[in-house]
C-alpha cells in the first residue's frame, strides 16, 4: 500500500476540525470538507484558536502555526476526493447520511483509497456494504477533544483487510495517538461502556434522585472523572448521545440500553448541549 500523505476530512464540526488539526500538525496535507463555506470557516476558526493558544503557551512558534494552517485547504465538493490517499468521514451520526457520502466517495476516489469513518457507534460493516471496496473501509474513532485525547479506537468491519488495518494503525501512531483494535459491534468498546453511564445519569436526574450539579459532583469528586456525566453529555452533543443509545438499543436488543425520555425531549427541543448553547446547562 502506498504511503499516506494526503487526507480528506468530511465534516468540519467539532470532531472533523480536530481531526484536520492533528493531521496537519503531523505533516499531512488536509482537505477539510463541509457543505457550506461558513461551516468550513467555523471549523478552521476553532483550529486557528487552538493553535494560537499553543503559541501563547510556548508550545509552538508563530511559524509552526502558519505552516500547520497552510496545510489545511477548504473543500466544498466531494469531487476533491479524486487525489487523496485516505478519507476520514466525520459528518453527523446518521446512517443514511454516512451511506450516501460513502456511495459517492466510492465512485470518486481511486480504488486504493482508504475510506475511514469516525462514527461513534454505527456498524462499519453496514457503511462498507454500500461501496465496492468493503476491504478498504474501516472505523477510525477519535475522542473529543481530538487534539488532547490519546486514544483512537480502530474498528475492523467484517471485510476490512489486514493491510488497511495496518496502514491506519501506522497513521494513528504518526498522529501521536495510541491505537486500540476493536471488532465491529454496536458502540464498539468506548461508547458501549460510556453511554450507558451517561444515560443512567440522565435517568437519575429524570427521576429526581439529585440535582444535575450533585450528579456531576458525585462522579467528579467521588470517581475522579474530569467532567461529570451531564457536563460530558453536553460536551459530546445530546443528539450524538441519543443516536448512540438508539444504536445500542436496536443493535443489542436489550431494554437496559433504552434512551432516557428526558434525553429525547432535550434533543427534540433543539437543546443539543454546548454546541447549541444549551443542554443540561446553559453556555455562553
Ligand atoms: C462520543 C464518542 O464517540 C467518544 C468520545 O469522544 S466521548 C468523550 C471523551 N472525552 C472525555 O471524556 C473528555 C473528558 N474531559 C476531559 O478530559 C477534560 O475535562 C478536558 C481535557 C476536556 C479539559 O481539561 P481541563 O483540565 O478541565 O481544562 P483545561 O485546563 O482548560 O484543559 C486541559 C488541556 O487541554 C487543552 N484543551 C482543552 N480543551 C481543548 C479543546 N477543545 N481543543 C484543544 N485543546 C483543548 C487545554 O489547552 C489544556 O492544555 P494544557 O494543559 O497543555 O495547557
Ligand atoms: N461529539 C463527540 O464527542 C464525538 C463524535 N463522534 C462522531 O463524529 C461525527 C461528527 O460528530 P461531531 O463533530 O460531534 O458533530 P457536529 O454536529 O459538530 O459536526 C458535524 C459536521 O458535519 C457536517 N455535515 C453534515 N452532513 C454532511 C454532509 N453530508 N457532508 C459534509 N458535511 C456534513 C455538519 O454540518 P451542519 O452544521 O450543517 O450540520 C457539521 O459541520 C459523528 O459521527 C459522531 O458520532 C466521534 C467521537 C466523539
Per residue in 95-117, pLDDT (tens digit) is 999 999 999 999 999 999 999 99
Ligand 2 midpoint to CA 93 (Å): 7
CB 136 within 8 A of CB 113: yes
Whole-prediction pTM = 0.96
Q: What local confidence, expressed as pLDDT, does residue 2 receive? A: 57
Q: Is 118 in the pocket of ligand 2 (CB under 6 A)?
A: yes
Question: Can you tell me the mean pLDDT for 175-202?
Answer: 97
Ligand nearest to the CA of 243: 2
| Grid cell in block for residue 17 | 476540525
Active site residues: 120, 141, 153, 191
Statement: residue 284 has pLDDT above 90: no
Ligand 1 pocket test: which of 55, 58, 91, 148 has the largest number of ligand atoms within 8 Å of its C-beta?
148
Q: What is the ipTM of this complex?
A: 0.95
Statement: residue 233 has pLDDT above 70: yes
Report the atom number in ligand 1 closest to the C-alpha of 144: 6
Q: What is the pLDDT of residues 44-71, one digit of tens each?
A: 999 999 999 999 999 999 999 999 999 9
CB 153 within 8 A of CB 120: no
Report the atom number in ligand 2 closest to the C-alpha of 93: 43
Identify which of 109, 190, 101, 117 has the alpha carbon closest to the alpha carbon of residue 160. 117
Q: What local confidence, expressed as pLDDT, does residue 165 receive? A: 98
Q: What is the pLDDT of residues 203-225, one digit of tens each?
A: 999 999 999 999 999 999 999 99
Ligand 2 midpoint to CA 250 (Å): 21
Q: Is 35 in the pocket of ligand 2 (CB under 6 A)?
A: yes
Q: Which one has a higher pLDDT value, 2 or 5?
A: 5
- 3 state SS of 124: helix
Q: What is the pLDDT of residues 132-177, one digit of tens each?
A: 999 999 999 999 999 999 999 999 999 999 999 999 999 999 999 9
Alpha helices of the chain — where are they, by DSSP H?
A: 14-25, 37-56, 62-70, 95-108, 124-128, 162-174, 190-206, 212-223, 229-236, 238-252, 261-268
Statement: residue 130 has pLDDT above 60: yes
CB burial readout 69-94, b (16+ within 10 A) else e: eebbbebeebebbeebbbbbbbbebe
Q: What local confidence, expressed as pLDDT, does residue 270 receive? A: 98
Ligand 2 midpoint to CA 204 (Å): 28
Report the atom number in ligand 2 closest to the C-alpha of 244: 45
Q: Is 150 in the pocket of ligand 1 (CB under 6 A)?
A: no
Statement: residue 244 has pLDDT above 60: yes
Q: Is 191 in the pocket of ligand 1 (CB under 6 A)?
A: yes
| Grid cell in block for residue 159 | 471485510
Ligand 1 pocket test: which of 226, 232, 243, 272 has the largest number of ligand atoms within 8 Å of its C-beta?
226
Q: Is 143 in the pocket of ligand 1 (CB under 6 A)?
A: yes
What is the residue-averaged pLDDT of the chain? 97
Q: What local confidence, expressed as pLDDT, does residue 3 receive? A: 86
Q: Is 50 in the pocket of ligand 2 (CB under 6 A)?
A: no
Statement: residue 1 has pLDDT above 80: no
Q: What local confidence, expressed as pLDDT, does residue 100 receive? A: 98
Q: Is 118 in the pocket of ligand 1 (CB under 6 A)?
A: no
Residue 225: C-alpha distances to residues 53, 62, 217 (Å): 24, 34, 9
Amino acid at each position: 500500500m502506498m504511503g499516506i500523505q494526503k487526507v480528506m476530512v468530511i465534516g468540519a464540526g467539532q470532531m472533523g476540525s480536530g481531526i484536520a488539526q492533528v493531521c496537519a500538525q503531523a505533516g499531512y496535507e488536509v482537505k477539510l470538507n463541509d457543505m457550506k463555506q461558513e461551516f468550513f470557516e467555523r471549523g478552521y476558526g476553532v483550529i486557528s484558536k487552538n493553535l494560537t493558544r499553543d503559541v501563547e503557551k510556548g508550545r509552538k512558534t508563530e511559524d509552526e502555526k502558519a505552516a500547520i494552517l497552510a496545510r489545511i485547504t477548504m473543500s466544498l465538493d466531494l469531487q476533491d476526493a479524486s487525489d487523496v490517499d485516505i478519507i476520514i468521514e466525520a459528518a453527523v451520526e446518521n446512517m443514511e447520511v454516512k451511506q450516501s457520502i460513502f456511495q459517492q466517495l466510492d465512485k470518486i476516489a481511486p480504488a486504493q483509497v482508504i475510506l475511514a469513518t469516525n462514527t461513534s457507534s454505527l456498524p462499519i460493516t453496514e457503511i462498507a456494504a454500500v461501496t465496492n471496496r468493503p476491504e478498504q473501509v474501516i472505523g477510525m474513532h477519535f475522542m473529543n477533544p481530538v487534539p488532547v485525547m490519546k486514544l483512537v479506537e480502530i474498528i475492523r468491519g467484517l471485510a476490512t483487510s489486514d493491510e488497511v488495518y495496518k496502514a491506519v494503525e501506522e497513521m494513528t501512531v504518526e498522529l501521536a495517538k495510541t491505537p486500540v483494535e476493536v471488532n465491529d459491534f454496536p458502540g464498539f468498546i468506548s461508547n458501549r461502556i460510556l453511554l450507558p453511564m451517561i444515560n443512567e445519569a440522565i435517568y437519575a436526574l429524570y427521576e429526581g434522585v439529585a440535582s444535575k450539579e450533585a450528579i456531576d459532583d458525585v462522579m467528579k469528586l467521588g470517581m475522579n472523572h474530569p467532567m461529570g456525566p451531564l457536563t460530558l453529555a453536553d460536551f459530546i452533543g445530546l443528539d450524538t448521545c441519543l443516536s448512540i443509545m438508539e444504536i445500542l438499543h436496536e443493535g443489542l436488543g436489550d431494554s437496559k440500553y433504552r434512551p432516557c425520555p428526558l434525553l429525547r425531549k432535550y434533543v427534540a427541543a433543539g437543546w443539543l448541549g454546548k454546541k447549541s448553547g444549551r443542554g443540561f446547562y446553559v453556555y455562553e
